[in-house]
Amino acid sequence: MSITLPVQKNDYIEVDFIDLTHDGAGVAKVDGYPLFVANALPGEKAKIKVTKVNKGYGFGRLIEVIEKSQYRVDAPCPIYKECGGCQLQHLSYEGQMVAKEKQVREVLTRIGKLENVKVHPVLGMEEPWRYRNKAQVPIGDQEGGLIGGFYQQRTHQIIDMKTCLIQQEKNDEVVQIVKEVCNRFGVRAYDEAKHKGTLRHIMVRYGLVTKEVMVVLVARTSDLPNKNKIVMEIVEKVGGLKSVILNVNAKKTNVIMGDESEVLWGEEVIYDYIGEIKFAISSRSFYQVNPDQTKVLYGKALEYADLRGEETVIDAYCGIGTISLFLAQKARKVYGVEIVPEAIEDARRNAELNGIVNAEFAVGEAETVIPRWYESGVQADVLVVDPPRKGCDEALLRTIIEMKPKKVVYVSCNPATLARDLRFLEDGGYKTVEVQPVDMFPQTMHCEAVAKIILK
C-alpha cells in the first residue's frame, strides 16, 4: 500500500516555520509532515520549493520570506551561504539565545521527561564574534595556486577564504601568510581522489592571553619541498610565533592529524591561561576553542560543586585536566581519568606547571578506572563528568549510582544526551536541581550546559 504524502518533489508551497533543527534548519509542517529548510526561522511565513521527500520528512529550499522573524538579520559573512562553518548568522544574537534556551528546555522535557528542572537563561558572550583560538583549514589547488578555507555544506569542495568572522583575527592573518609562503615555494595541495600532492591542512593555535602562536603543517609526507626556506620565512613574517610543527598524515582518511609530528622550529608547546590556570598546549592537545566562555562554563561547574576544601572529587573524562585543575584549587583531592594517554600526559604536565599537587590522573575508561578506585577506598563527595557528544557510557552511570556521591556536576556539549543521562540518574535516586546553558559557539546551533544533580 503506497502512502500519499501531502507534498511532492518540486512543489512550490507557502509554509509557516515553527522550530529549528539541531543543525539550524527551519522546521515547517504540512498536515503533520515535517519539512526542513535552511536559512528559515521560527515565526516566519515563506514560499519554498520542495527539493526532496522521504517517507517521514522532506527538505525544501527557501524561495521568498513573506513574513520575517523579529530576529532575522543579514549575515555579515560574504561566504555564509556556501560555507558550512556557521548555521545561525541570519539569526540575531538575542534570537540565538532564545533558540538555545528553548532547545535545552525541550530536550529535558521530551527526552529526559524532566518537568520541574530550573533552566536558566543562556550565558552568552558580550562580543559573539572572533572567539575561536584554533583554525584548521583544508588546503586545495585552484588554477595553479593554493586555496584554503572551509568545505561547502555537504561537499568536499573548498571555499577559499581570506577571513572567518568567528576566528581570532590573528589566525586569519597567519593562515594567509603560510598559504602564500607555501605557494611561492611550489608546495602542492593534497588531492584526496588521487592520494597525491603534499599539504593537507594548515592549523594555527593562538594563546588568547599569552599571544603565542603555533603553526602546524599537516602533510601527506615528511618530504616537504623547500622545508627549511618555508620555515624561515614563516618565522620572519609571523609575530608571536613560538612553534612550527610538521604533522604527517599519509592515510586515505578525512581525519585531520596523523600520528607522527616533528618540531621544525621553536617549542613543542605554546602556553595560555583560563582564569588563573596556565596550560601547555601541544599540536594534539584538546584545548577549548573559546577560552573566555570556558572560564564561564567551568566557573559554573565550580559553583555547582560548592567545594569547601574537604572534599574528594572525581573528574571523569578529564582531558588535559582543564576542569580538574579548577576543582583542585578548592578541593582536598581530585582524581581525573581519561582514555587518551597523551591527554593524561598533558594533564600531569599542567598540574606541575601550576604547582598543583592534590590532583592525580589515570589513563583508562572512566567506567573501568572509577570502580577500581572505589574498591581501593576512594569515596567521591562530588563527581564531575564532561563526556563527548555521545554522552556518558551506561556503565559509568551505573557506577555513579552505586558509589552514591552526594553531588554530580554534569558538563555537557550535547543537550540531547544530557537529557537521556539525567533521566538515568533520576531513576537511580538522583535529583536534577538546575541546568545552566552556556554559549560556547556563537553563530552555530551548538549549546553547552552544566547540570547540578544531588542524591535524593
Beta-carbon contacts of residue 155 (< 8 Å; ≥ 6 apart): none
Say how far apart CA 102 and CA 123 lie, in whole Å.
Answer: 13
Q: What are phi and psi of 44, to 5 degrees?
A: -100, 145
- Please report how the helices 394-403 and 415-427 are oriented relative to each other, as an axis angle in degrees rounded to 10: 40
Burial of 311 (0-12, 13-18, 19+ CB in 10 A): buried
Say how far apart CA 437 and CA 379 lie, in whole Å.
Answer: 29
CA angle 394, 395, 400 (to 5 degrees): 95
Long-range contacts of 27-35 (CB under 8 A, 24+ apart): 28/60, 30/6, 31/6, 32/6, 33/5, 33/6, 33/7, 33/57, 33/58, 34/58, 35/7, 35/59, 35/60
Closest C-alpha among 264, 209, 202 to residue 235: 264
As given in the structure block, the three cell numbers for residue 69 are 522573524
Q: How far is CA 393 from CA 151, 400, 420, 427, in A?
A: 32, 11, 11, 16
Rg (alpha carbons) of the chain, rounded to whole number: 24
β-pairing, 199-206 vs 158-160, is unpaired
β-pairing, 312-316 vs 277-281, is unpaired
As given in the structure block, the three cell numbers for residue 392 are 556518558
- Please report how the helices 394-403 and 366-375 are oriented relative to each other, as an axis angle in degrees rounded to 10: 20
**370 close to 393: Cβ distance less than 8 angstroms:** no
Number of DSSP helices (H) and strands (E) in the chain, helices first: 9, 22
Q: How far is CA 399 from CA 102, 368, 425, 426, 455, in A?
A: 31, 9, 11, 14, 14
Secondary structure E strands in 182-290: 199-206, 213-219, 241-248, 260-266, 270-274, 277-281
Residue 434 forms beta bridges with which residues? 118, 452
Count CB-CB contacts under 10 A for residue 441: 22
447 catalytic, yes or no? Answer: no
* Active-site residue identified among 77, 164, 413, 447: 413
Active-site residue list: 413
